[in-house]
């Protein structure tokens, strides 16, 4: 597998665009994105488990219940959530895509992100749709920019790999910086691939992958109302269609994980106000469930996140987070170390503190990417979760988010 450029347009038969249509007040910020496949594609989605859901989620679920779609349209600046006319707006947006592209409205995925409960009208979409469609091309970065809210960087990635002797591609874009927490933990992710795969197998692959990627990310403990991961697979790589589990399916799952795990790291690193990416690697679990529970609990700990911001090797907060996680572990077997490009330092052995240099620990934890390695020493299961530090700026960003 090889990392390549192109994002969501790296896969054959996909084009994208992103423009400013007037949803956001700042004219320098794009706020409407479109992704189109030349042919109908197998489609699968995973959505937020929040009981309060944006109207686009219901419309999208209905449109891809047959397992297929051809286009994705997404706006930023307004979540289209808790609005009396939300479903109407989402539906009319799909109708506009049909009007200007000829793609059936029932084959359009629609998504929104931004402020919840703000009035929304169809006018910006109607005014911008012609430009959006006319701008379609190799413009993954424009689409990635158009779905951003408090994100500080565009998030996109692509890989090339082989299946059945055919060269295949897979790419993705994401937005997510705040309201990120395990439970379908991203804001929005759109993945395209030219692999030929049956809709039921695509859904199976995505559902399984999310458990090890987007459900293992946390920035602030808040699960959004609009979380959505959508994958479109249009088959233009012309590989033997994946219709059951086996070698081809496994290779596709590896490629999907490569894209999604990369985007997870980008989301966590770009957490609102964050200065550090925290990766928690847990090994030696007696069960996968226990390993995952420990990893998630550590990256979700506000006290641990604050300690990482201050470059404080307060390993007791790691043990504390493990202790209340609900995982069935033997605390007296746990080892903990902190690792970064500045070095590695062991801070805990068999559940107890050991002598270490606070100066070296400070150097290790001052880096922008930190690994917290936890050995449970009770089995063979392992898991990884991603998070970030908790800074003053997080409160500042969210204190005036609407204004």
pLDDT single digits (tens) 220-235: 777 788 889 999 999 9
Listed residue (263, 243, 267, 244) closest to 170, CA to CA: 263
Query: 46-60, 178-192, 236-250, 368-382: lowest mean pLDDT where?
Result: 178-192
* Structural domains of the chain sorted by starting position, each given as residue range(s) with its CATH number in brackets: 2-269 (3.60.70.12), 277-399 (3.10.20.340)
The pLDDT, as a whole number, for residue 403 is 55
Strand partners, 386: 217, 279
The pLDDT, as a whole number, for residue 193 is 98
Whether the pLDDT of residue 342 is over 90: the answer is yes
Whether the pLDDT of residue 375 is over 70: the answer is yes
| DSSP 8-state symbol, 136 | -
In sequence order, which residues have a C-beta less than 8 Å from that of residue 26 and are 6 or more positions away? none
For 244, counting Cβ atoms within 10 Å of its Cβ (0-12 exposed, 13-18 middle, 19+ buried), the class is exposed
Whether the pLDDT of residue 92 is over 60: the answer is yes
The pLDDT, as a whole number, for residue 220 is 77
Handedness of CA 361, 364, 369, 375 (dihedral sign): negative
Q: Which candidate in 113, 149, 186, 225 is catalytic?
A: 186
Count of all residues that appear for the chain in the document: 403
For 137, counting Cβ atoms within 10 Å of its Cβ (0-12 exposed, 13-18 middle, 19+ buried), the class is exposed
First to last CA, the chain: 44
pLDDT band of 41, cuts 50, 70, 90: very high
Look over the chain and give the mean of its residue pLDDT values, rounded to a whole number. Answer: 94
The pLDDT, as a whole number, for residue 184 is 61
Query: 38-52, 115-129, 172-186, 345-359: lowest mean pLDDT where?
Result: 172-186
The pLDDT, as a whole number, for residue 346 is 98
In angstroms, the Cα distances linking 66 to 62, 92, 95, 164, 196 are 8, 20, 18, 27, 16
> What value does the mean pLDDT take over residues 297-304?
95
Concatenating the DSSP letter of every residue in 337-379 gives EEEETTEEEEEEETTEE----HHHHHHHHTSSEEEEEEE--SS
How big is the CA angle at 74 (ends 70 and 78), to the nearest 5 degrees?
A: 155
pLDDT band of 394, cuts 50, 70, 90: confident
Report whether 243 contacts 198 (CB < 8 A).
Answer: yes
Q: What percent of the chain has pLDDT over 70?
A: 97
Give the C-alpha separation, 269 to 283, whole Å.
Answer: 22
The pLDDT, as a whole number, for residue 393 is 85
Q: What percent of the chain has pLDDT over 90?
A: 85
The pLDDT, as a whole number, for residue 185 is 52
Q: What are phi and psi of 36, to 5 degrees?
A: -135, 140
Whether the pLDDT of residue 102 is over 70: the answer is yes
Does the annotation mark 186 as catalytic?
Answer: yes
Strand order through the sheet with 335-340: 352-353, 343-349, 335-340, 369-375, 277-285, 381-388
Which is higher by pLDDT, 219 or 285?
285
The pLDDT, as a whole number, for residue 80 is 94
The pLDDT, as a whole number, for residue 271 is 82
The pLDDT, as a whole number, for residue 183 is 66
The pLDDT, as a whole number, for residue 234 is 98
Which run of H or of E encompasses 139? Answer: none
């Amino acid at each position: 597998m090889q990392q390549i450029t192109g994002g969501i347009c790296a896969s054959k038969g996909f084009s994208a665009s992103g423009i400013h249509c007037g949803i956001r007040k700042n004219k320098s910020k794009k706020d409407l994105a479109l992704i189109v496949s030349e042919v109908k594609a197998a489609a699968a989605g995973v959505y937020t488990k929040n009981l309060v859901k944006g109207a686009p989620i219901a419309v999208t679920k209905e449109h891809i219940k047959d397992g297929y779609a051809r286009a994705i349209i997404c706006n930023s600046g307004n979540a289209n959530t808790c609005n009396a006319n939300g479903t109407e707006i989402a539906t009319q947006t799909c109708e506009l895509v049909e009007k200007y592209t000829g793609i059936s409205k029932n084959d359009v995925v629609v998504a929104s992100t931004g402020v919840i409960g703000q009035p929304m009208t169809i006018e910006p979409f109607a005014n911008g749709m012609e430009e959006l469609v006319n701008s379609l091309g190799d413009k993954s970065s424009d689409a990635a920019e158009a779905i951003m809210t408090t994100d500080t960087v565009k998030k996109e990635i692509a890989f090339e790999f082989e299946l059945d002797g055919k060269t295949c591609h897979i790419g993705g874009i994401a937005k997510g910086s705040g309201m990120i927490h395990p439970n379908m933990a991203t804001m929005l992710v759109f993945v395209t691939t030219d692999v030929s795969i049956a809709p039921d197998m695509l859904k199976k692959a995505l559902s399984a992958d999310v458990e090890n990627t987007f459900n293992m990310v946390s920035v602030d403990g808040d699960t959004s109302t609009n979380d959505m991961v959508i994958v479109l697979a249009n088959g233009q790589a012309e590989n033997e269609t994946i219709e059951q589990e086996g070698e081809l399916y496994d290779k596709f799952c590896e490629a999907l994980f490569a894209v999604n795990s990369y985007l997870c790291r980008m989301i966590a690193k770009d957490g609102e106000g964050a200065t550090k990416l925290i990766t928690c690697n847990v090994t030696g679990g007696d069960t996968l469930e226990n390993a995952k529970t420990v990893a998630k609990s550590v990256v979700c700990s506000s006290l641990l996140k604050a300690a990482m911001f201050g470059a404080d090797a307060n390993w007791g907060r790691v043990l504390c987070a493990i202790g209340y996680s609900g995982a069935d572990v033997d605390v007296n077997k746990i080892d903990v170390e902190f690792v970064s490009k500045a070095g590695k330092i062991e801070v805990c052995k068999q559940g107890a503190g050991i002598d270490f240099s606070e100066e070296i620990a400070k150097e290790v934890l001052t880096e922008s990417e930190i690994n917290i390695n936890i050995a449970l020493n009770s089995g063979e299961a392992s898991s990884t979760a991603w998070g970030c530090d908790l800074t003053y700026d997080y409160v500042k960003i969210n204190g005036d988010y609407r204004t």
